[in-house]
Amino acid sequence: MKVEEMKYLANLNPFSSVIRSFPVSEGNGLLLGVKNDFHISPSFIQNLIDTKNYQLHTIDAMAQGGRAIDLKLINPITGNYISGSSSGTAINVFLGMNDIGIGSDGGGSVLAPAMCLNLFGFISYLIDKENMNLYSKVSTDDIRFRPSLGYIAKDFEVLKEIVKVTLPLEKDSSAHKIVISSADNDNYPFEVERIDFPDIYGDRKENIQFLEQVLPTVDFLISKEGPVDVEGFGDSVFGHFDERTKQIQRKAKKGLLRVANMVGATAISIPTNELGVSYLGICESIPSKIAVMIEKMEKLVIPQDELVERYFRDTETWFRKGYGE
């Protein structure tokens, strides 16, 4: 999609995911969408713009109060409410309106919206660390954490480039230890070790404990998760009431993505060919481990879904003429 078409799409705003848009032009860099959240520092965005590789295009709608499900925005694929809280940011990337979305993540607020739309997601405690250290929050299940910034993209190379621009990565040539769940029967294009995972869709505190124990002993782990929000209602406010609501929440299949940020980790999600299912890589926020994780996880990247590209990112879908025009 050309920049002019991306501008028209932002003005049309077919899913009410844009708060406001800014003038952009061809040849002045990739288009950014930024979540309408005070945690994201304008100086951080300006530093990206100053590289001349990025231009700010949209301020994106987010789920009210940072909720895990956005009751105002619809998932363009399923027609259900979309995962939050970086919901508008994910939609605007998915539609091709923006090349990169920048959001904030507390308990899956970047990773879940990315995963439910088969987009690439990335969060790290190290992005704009000095500013993000100023903030502290308490989750709906009474866990204190500080948020992280993260990125959503439909093209892996675009994601990889903005990570390089904003993170100090270090190459590591030593042998690597990568672990997956013993219940994961997939074949990986690199050596992995299988270990027992807890119930990743269960108690968040148990999963936090698991990551705190395992991450220091490995380069990174991979958790195959989803389908995110294809079924169920993945929101802890809804799920806390009783056993029935808890089971409905569980069906939304949000696993370790809910706790990666809470342990100060860095995470990357790589979509599979199944709707809402991704490989989620998680590592300690150590530059050498992050570099290894990105290098290995890139081997899991598959081509874009042709029908999604042809339908959602074709301007004729949104600008076809009506009767008598």
Predicted TM-score (pTM) of the model is 0.97
Judged by DSSP in three states, 309 sits in helix
Question: Quick one: 3-318 is in which CATH superfamily?
Answer: Amidase signature (AS) domain (3.90.1300.10)
3-class secondary-structure state, position 73: strand
The span from the CA of 217 to the CA of 204, in Å, is 21
Residues paired with residue 222 on neighbouring β-strands, in sequence order: 180, 281
Q: What is the pLDDT of residue 147?
A: 95
Contact 133, 146 (CB under 8 A): yes
Q: Using alpha carbons, list the distances in angstroms from residue 199 to 26, 113, 141, 276.
A: 48, 22, 17, 19
* Whole-number pLDDT of residue 181: 99
Question: Rounded to whole angstroms, how far apart are CA atoms 29 and 45?
Answer: 13
Q: Which portions of the chain are predicted below pLDDT 70?
A: none
**CB neighbour list of residue 310: distance below 8 Å, 6 or more residues apart:** none
Q: What is the pLDDT of residue 144?
A: 82
Residues 6 or more apart whose CB falls under 8 angstroms from that of 27 comprise none
User: Which H/E stretch holds residue 239?
Assistant: helix 236-239
What are the boundaries of each domain within the chain?
A: 3-318
DSSP 8-state assignment for residue 303: P
Give the Cα separation of 43 and 131 in Å (integer): 10
Of 30, 43, 162, 42, the C-alpha closest to 98 is 30
Residue whose C-alpha is closest to residue 127's, from 266, 273, 293:
266
Tokens read off for 20? 């406001």
What pLDDT score does 267 carry? 99
What H or E segment, with its residue span, contains residue 100? strand 100-105
